[in-house]
């Protein structure tokens, strides 16, 4: 995990085919899964945050063969950073009002 701002920016743009300035959070791991780097643009500049585990490793989600990126919800990201194995966690069905989710505030 030697990449800094420019290296991670290039990975997002060239390998993931995403816009690093979109405001999305991009998460990277080393091969041993004991270090993470997070890249996000907050509107005025890039943030790079890092976390290293003293023991153990992060329970990284499995990608489908040929898949270059995994999209996580903010809950899944929080669980991954908190040490919860996403392979063993499961979503419970619950009601969500789709009309409320699609409301756009008026200007």
What per-residue confidence (pLDDT) applies to 101? 56
In a domain, 106, yes or no: no
Q: What is the secondary structure of the chain as a DSSP string?
A: ----HHHHHHIIIIIS---TTSS--EEEE-TTSSEEEEEEE-SSSEEEEEEE-SSS---PPPPPTT-------HHHHHHHHTT--TTT--PPP----HHHHT-----
Query: The domain containing residue 17 runs over which residues?
Result: 5-86
What per-residue confidence (pLDDT) applies to 90? 66
pLDDT along the chain (107 residues), means of 10: 85 92 91 91 92 86 81 84 73 66 57
Please give the tally of structural domains in the chain. Answer: 1
What per-residue confidence (pLDDT) applies to 64? 80
What per-residue confidence (pLDDT) applies to 40? 93
What per-residue confidence (pLDDT) applies to 18? 93
In a domain, 55, yes or no: yes
In a domain, 31, yes or no: yes
């Amino acid at each position: 995990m030697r990449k800094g701002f420019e290296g991670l920016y290039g990975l997002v743009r060239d390998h993931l085919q995403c816009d690093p300035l979109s405001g999305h959070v991009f998460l990277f791991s080393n091969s041993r899964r004991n270090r993470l780097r997070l890249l996000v643009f907050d509107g005025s500049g890039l943030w790079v945050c890092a976390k290293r585990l003293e023991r153990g490793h992060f329970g990284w989600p499995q990608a489908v063969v040929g898949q270059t990126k995994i999209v996580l919800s903010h809950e899944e990201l929080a669980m991954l950073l908190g040490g919860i194995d996403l392979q063993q966690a499961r979503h419970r069905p619950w009601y969500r009002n789709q009309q409320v989710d699609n409301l756009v505030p008026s200007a």
